[in-house]
Structure formats: C-alpha cells, structure tokens
Amino acid sequence: MSIALLTMTYYANVEETRFHLACQMLGNAKAVGYMTAVLDGSPDDLVSLAFERIGTVIFKQTAQGMGPARRELFLKASANKPGIFLWSEEKPDIVRLIPQIVEPIARGWADIVIPFRTDKSWESYPAYQAESEKAANAVYAEVTGRPFDAMFGPVAFRREMLHYFYECNPAEQFGTHDTYIYHIAPLVAMAAGARVVSVPVDFYYPSVQKAEELAALNDAIREKRKRQFEECTANYRAAAAALNLKW
C-alpha cells in the first residue's frame, strides 16, 4: 500500500534549523520510496527550491492561519492517490518509524493511528516541553477516555479518513480554537465509527533542535507553550463533550 508523508512549512530563510530538519525528513522519506508533499508559505523562494530538488510535491500556501492552512494541505493532498497518509511536523526520525506506525492500517486493524512516545523517547525532549505536553495529554485522556499522545503530532490514516482532516474546523464545530486540527479530526472520525488505535515508538527529538530551544528559553517561549496548552486542552474538552466520547 502506497504511503504519502505530508507536512506544512514556513521559514523566514534557509538558515533556520527547522528548515534543515524538514529537508532531512523529506529526503529520508524519498530515499525509502515514500511520496512526500509540502504546503509551503515561506517568503524565501530558496526553501521551495530545496524541496523541489528533493523531489517533493509542493503546494503554495494561500490560506492564512494554522487551521485553514492545514485544511488546505489535506484538501490538496486528496488529489494524490496513496492508500495511507501520514502527517508530521519536521521530525527526521519519524521516517524510520513509519512502517511501525502504519502497520495497523496496512493489516486492516485500524483506520487512524496516533503513535505514542515511550519513556525513552520522552527523555530526548526538553524538560519544560515534556512537562507541558504530558499535562495536555492527561487532559485529553481525562475527557475522551483515550490515553493517546495527541501532543506528539504525527498521525497516520487511511485515504478514506482524509475528509475528516480537511473538513475539521474546531472553531465552527465546537466554538474553540482553529489551530491543531489534526488533534481533533481523529476524535470526530472516532465518533463516526472509525477505528483509532495507538502504537509505541522510540522517537528521538533532534538534539540540535533541543540545544537551540534550551539556549533560547525565556519567558516568551514559556508563554507560547502555556498558550498552546490552553488552546489544545480547550479543544479537547469541547470536542469530547460535543461528541460524547467519554467511556
């Protein structure tokens, strides 16, 4: 079954660490035969040129805002024909884990897979980030009854599930934040009868990214992390209540 890796990018220039991580991830994926597609909104044309040289399908971002841009990516990706899609931010190490993540789908056991980080994986993260994301995951588990690692980010799904992602709008559906829609789309799909499962992965956070983030850690970054926690958990609570998901 063919697999496509999807991501969204916005970099001020090609000097950004995250740009280099995206190139590594996409290059790793192409090297082992996966399709790759990017929605790019970067002002520097060298970014998309680098992706083009890797062999990635590039969609130019036209929608503004986190939720609208992600919906744009998922909708444009629907023109392609892979049997399985996997969304991820720029995480080079995720590529070696794709067979493990998609196996439940490939074997017909699941429609959507949300991988969860093992203890070994968590140890590779900045402590402040791990603390915040574990706390948000705890709220997710409390209100949905499902102990998924939504804050990790990557999610794999059968092609037939794609519409849940490009139709997902938490602001319109639940009156909350139109941001991390790939956290919410699996809940909507689950409420409609989709089989959503999780698998453990020993994912390693990029050491160069960890070092850079720890060096730049300040009150502004902590405030950004706090805002992410508040927005995500508000979405989890609203979606779970509206969809009546709690066991």
Helix 219-243 with 181-191: angle, nearest 10 deg: 10
Q: Would you give the DSSP letter of residue 159?
A: G
Residue 77 half-sphere exposure, CB side, CA atoms within 13 Å? 33
- Mean pLDDT, range 80-85, rounded to an integer: 92
Q: Domain 3-243, what fold?
A: Spore Coat Polysaccharide Biosynthesis Protein SpsA; Chain A (3.90.550)
Separation of alpha carbons 4 and 81, rounded Å:
9
Helix (H, G, I), strand (E, B) or coil at 59: strand
- Stretch 111-138: mean pLDDT, rounded? 97
pLDDT tens digits for 9-31?
A: 999 999 999 999 999 999 999 99
Choose among 62, 109, 63, 69: nearest CA to 87: 69
- The per-residue DSSP string of 90-118 comes to S-TTHHHHHHHHHHHHHTTS-SEE--EE-
pTM exceeds 0.85, yes or no: yes
Where are the domains positioned within the chain?
Answer: 3-243
Give residue-wise pLDDT tens across range 135-160.
999 999 999 999 999 999 999 999 99
